[in-house]
Amino acid sequence: MDYQSLVNFLKSKMRMSHIYQPVMIKRLLESGGLSHQDEIAKAILQYDKAQLEYYVNITNNMVGRVLRKHGIVDKQQKRYSLPGYDDLSKSQISELIALCDYKIGEYISRRGEKIWAHRNHTAGYISGTVRYEVLKRAKYRCELCGVSAHIKALEVDHIVPRSVGGSDDLSNFQALCYSCNAMKRDRDDTDFRGLKDSYAHREDGCLFCEIDKKRVVVENELAYAIRDGFPVTESHTLIIPKRHVHDYFGLGQSEVNATNQLITSVKDEIEKTDKLVNGFNIGMNSGQSAGQTIFHCHIHLIPRRDGDVENPRGGVRHTIPGKGTY
């Protein structure tokens, strides 16, 4: 490809969803037109501030702290130094570098890929498709602190760890930035086994705990959907957690994920099969004063169509008569 073709591609034809394309072209230009895939990956990594911040934290809070404690390194502001370096000969420096390489190689040989588990623990058994769905559902933000994926790298985390029986169902995944995920692993003392067991709780005599399976429209591991027995519009649907829990505010994060997943899938199916639907009301009643009559959490998904009421303005505000108009 000649100069003008490259210019035209970079200026006009290149469609960017990230910085990867120009970084790769730049690397090839800087390396004589030929570059190993590892070198291209390193070039991309230089722009990833989230990765850089991750290893800055390790430098300061782990390795730097240990080496300072042993008197091996000093630190002034953001710079580290090796005391006595100026007194070392070139041959001594070479020997010490070779010894460092030996220790690195020995450790990697002994421990294998497990040494990088803190950074890529979500790789392997979580497919790219599942990872995409989890991040998309979270709108590419950490579900704990809210930071954007553009600022910090996001990881896909099992809410209930696989080590204690957590599943690979979408409802058991959440998107966490690497900082929140590290804190969760290190500090969270929740008995996840008890949490998992609680999902199986059902209450005798509860309509939604003993639902007729024939009524179920769709379900996942922790929730199901049925058509409302007294629909206010056609295809009025209830999304219900399987665990007996009084209201929405008692749901765990896995159950929130599970119910949201069904809300979206049912909404998409209704829109696909009924082209007149062009809006939805979503709501739940929490407490007797709010109109709750079945004390097992259920979320109403109500399809709306033009003309189904004379004036839809105000929507759910009409739950209090006379307050819907403003």
Give tens-digit pLDDT for 133-153: 888 888 887 887 777 777 777
Which domain does 38 fall in, by range?
3-45
Are 98 and 157 part of one and the same domain?
A: no
Which pairing describes strands 277-283 and 299-305: parallel, antiparallel, or unpaired? Answer: antiparallel
Low-confidence ranges of the chain (pLDDT < 70): 49-51, 54, 113-125, 185-196
Residue 291 pLDDT? 94
Residue 153: count of CB within 10 angstroms of its CB: 19
Are 19 and 100 part of one and the same domain?
A: no
Nearest one of 232, 241, 258, 221 to 312, comparing CA atoms: 232
The alpha carbon torsion through 139, 143, 146, 147 (nearest 10 deg) reads -80
Are 142 and 228 part of one and the same domain?
A: no
The H-or-E segment that residue 197 falls in is helix 192-198
CA atoms of 300 and 102, how far apart (whole Å): 63
Look at residue 269 and tell me if it is in a domain. yes
Are 247 and 308 part of one and the same domain?
A: yes
Look at residue 29 and tell me if it is in a domain. yes
Inter-residue contact 297 to 248 (CB < 8 Å): yes
Nearest one of 243, 246, 242 to 218, comparing CA atoms: 242
CA atoms of 261 and 258, how far apart (whole Å): 5
Residue 297 pLDDT? 97
Residue 203 pLDDT? 95
Residue 240 pLDDT? 97
Residue 282: count of CB within 10 angstroms of its CB: 12
CA atoms of 323 and 316, how far apart (whole Å): 10
**Rounded to the nearest 5 degrees, what angle is found at the Cα of 187, between the Cα atoms of 186 and 188?**
110
CATH number (domain holding residue 242): 3.30.428.10
pTM of the predicted model, to two decimals? 0.54
Residue 122 pLDDT? 44
> Which phi and psi (to 5°) does residue 160 adopt?
-95, 115
Are 225 and 270 part of one and the same domain?
A: yes
Number of domains in the chain: 4
